[in-house]
Amino acid sequence: MMRSTIFILFFLMIPYAVYGQQQDSKARAGSPYSSIAFGLPADLLSPHTTGMGLSGVSVYNSFTTNTANPALWSISAYTQGAIALGFQNYNASDGLENAIYNQFTIDQFQLVLPIRRSQIGLSLGFSPVTRSSYELTGFGTIQPEPGGEPVEFLNQVTGSGGINKLELGLGYRFASNFAIGYAGSLYLASLTRDFDTAFGIAAFDNISFTENISGISFGHRLGFFGRHDGLFGSNDEIALGASLNLPVNIDVEQDLTSFRNVGGQLRRVNLLPEGADRSGNIQLPLEFNLGLTYNLSRVLNFSVEYTEQLWGEAEYSLNPSQEQFLVDRTKIGIGSQYLPYTREGSTGFLSNFKYSVGVTYDTGHLMIEDNKIETLLFHSGIGILSERTASSVDLSFQFGFRGTEEQNLIQETIWGFKLSLNLAEIMFVQPRFQ
């Protein structure tokens, strides 16, 4: 029953996973920090390591997909599929006022096919790279005429969208304990900002216009994985994994539109003058991810990860002034998994699950008023296994803090959960017995 449910949900969610990230939804709000440049980085976490808060670049699991490391697509004999969804709640404070907002996300989908079992694997996936989702409100007054009465106004900016990638790649296991991988990606940029200004008197018409930024480009990602058995004992293992995302330059087009009365009819018109330069570029930075995992036994493992993103070299030519806020980002994390179901002869209800814990610290990619926008998150997770198949459901939880109240900045208390549906089947094999 679980296998059928996961299989149906997986394929029903693919269209929404691809297109849902691009849609503008004013009812959805996320972090105000995502309003800078082209959004907050969206970290890719493999389904089986989300409970540790780690990408899983050095963690191998034959029953769920690995998002972080293309080399690991080569090792499994199973056809694997995963859909991941998330929900986050933000409680934001600047020391004077509080605001609460929620965000629902489609984190990824991925399908991995073994071309040659445990040696060559093909992966197709879709995932966000950055997310921009926010609502900003400001109040003020203007004085239209010298000596005249001041007029109050309300500004509201609503942003949504981000950068996503559609990825196709191969993993190749060239020795029993070593594998490499490559992935090519189609990057899709789609950012929307709605600007609305309302005045306190009827003599001033309200002002509304929309900015749309879109573009596509190609990117490249490399992966390596190696492991060594029997380091300190007969049952232990140490594994090293690494991935490298090369910089991506996206040529984008900008439109500025609004509704105007044209010949007695309300029509959307472009506000940019004829001959105005509507093109620009977004440059995503180099990213390096390194992980080390020690498997004490089949039941227990410990992992540490280090990620570096050179956001200080990122570019946003449509608004260069926002580049000054971008700085290099470092993220480190540690985590552990307990897998009692892998122990022979294990019994009891609690032995049917897998358990994860972890903590991550992120220096952030923003520097505002000499303050880095840091993030500290605590993670935990539980995996629910199918009794008859290798499929599973992973549920993880996170709690932590981002930002600071210094210099009237915003500090966010974050809690949320992620749900991944994992399909693992041996397909395209003719049974020996009917």
Query: Which of 67-81, 190-204, 207-221 is the least confident region?
Result: 190-204
- Asked if the model's pLDDT at residue 4 lies above 60, the reply is no
Mean pLDDT of 181-201: 92
Mean pLDDT of 180-184: 97
pLDDT of residue 345: 56
Query: In this predicted model, which residue has the larger pLDDT, 223 or 434?
Result: 223
CA distances from 82 to 50, 259, 349, 357, 394 (A): 13, 42, 25, 21, 10
Nearest to 283, CA basis, from 326, 243, 250: 250
pLDDT of residue 428: 44
CA–CA dist 61, 59 (Å, integer): 7
Nearest to 33, CA basis, from 413, 286, 319, 412: 412
Q: Which amino acid is at 60?
A: Y
pLDDT tens-digit series, residues 65-86: 999 999 999 988 888 999 999 9
Nearest to 104, CA basis, from 430, 433, 422, 416: 416
- Asked if the model's pLDDT at residue 293 lies above 60, the reply is yes
Query: In this predicted model, which residue has the larger pLDDT, 64 or 11?
Result: 64
- Predicted TM-score (pTM) of this structure: 0.86
- Asked if the model's pLDDT at residue 25 lies above 70, the reply is no
Angle at 35 between CA 266 and CA 396, to 5 degrees: 115
Cβ atoms of residues 137 and 168 within 8 Å: no
pLDDT tens-digit series, residues 398-410: 999 999 888 888 8
pLDDT of residue 23: 36
Angle at 190 between CA 421 and CA 277, to 5 degrees: 165
pLDDT of residue 112: 94
Average pLDDT, rounded, for the chain: 85
pLDDT of residue 165: 96
pLDDT of residue 348: 61
44 falls in which pLDDT band (50, 70, 90)? confident
Q: What is the largest CA-CA distance in the chain?
A: 94
Cβ atoms of residues 41 and 309 within 8 Å: yes
Mean pLDDT of 361-389: 90
**Domain boundaries defined on the chain:** 2-139+149-425
pLDDT of residue 180: 97
352 falls in which pLDDT band (50, 70, 90)? confident
Nearest to 43, CA basis, from 362, 357, 312: 362
pLDDT tens-digit series, residues 112-142: 999 998 899 999 999 999 999 888 888 778 7
| 220 dihedral zone (left: phi>0; alpha: psi -120 to 50; beta) | beta
Cβ atoms of residues 141 and 150 within 8 Å: yes
Using a pLDDT cut of 70, give the percent of the chain over it.
87
189 falls in which pLDDT band (50, 70, 90)? very high
For residue 159, how many other CB atoms are within 10 A of its CB? Answer: 24
Fold of domain 2-139+149-425: Porin (2.40.160)
Buried b (16+ CB within 10 A) or exposed e, 318-345: beeeebebbbbbebebbbbbebbeeeee
